[in-house]
Structure 1
């Protein structure tokens, strides 16, 4: 992976040069260095987990071990987001399947 010297964003290989995905800066591709890089497949939409406040939770994984404080229902959709540093557990965001109440759980 190569990063832009101007803005620090990730660069992509395009037509023999490395192009910044953010500011558009480009540098000639160093073939010796390029041999060290590994290309991966593009991420599909199925791999993305929405965690923003207005995210649509329906159809996401379901938790059966929770309790909604608003209505007492015990099933909720959830998403996971790393809100702290990497050595801390992720935060689970829930949406009650009955009343739509939202809450979070810090593991």
Structure 2
């Protein structure tokens, strides 16, 4: 059986009339679009294969939540005393450790202690 004529070509998960995501088949073995009421019988999909894949990008070194990456060897300085050696002046860098709506975490590194 041929699929009904539609406005554009789409994947089987989407309505060929309006592009909305189609729901799962209902009890009478039919699929009806909730947006435009376009309808199909489940038998229209017999013999067709739906394949999907998910491809992840490789993480960059030091990317993500607090993982990896050493502190910078040099950087901007701030007038702050090192709690270990008492040296005045520390390097600092910031990193987004949690969600974007929270402030950045500031890391201090003593140039003498490292």
TM-score normalised over the length of structure 1: 0.40
Larger radius of gyration: 2
More strand by share: 1
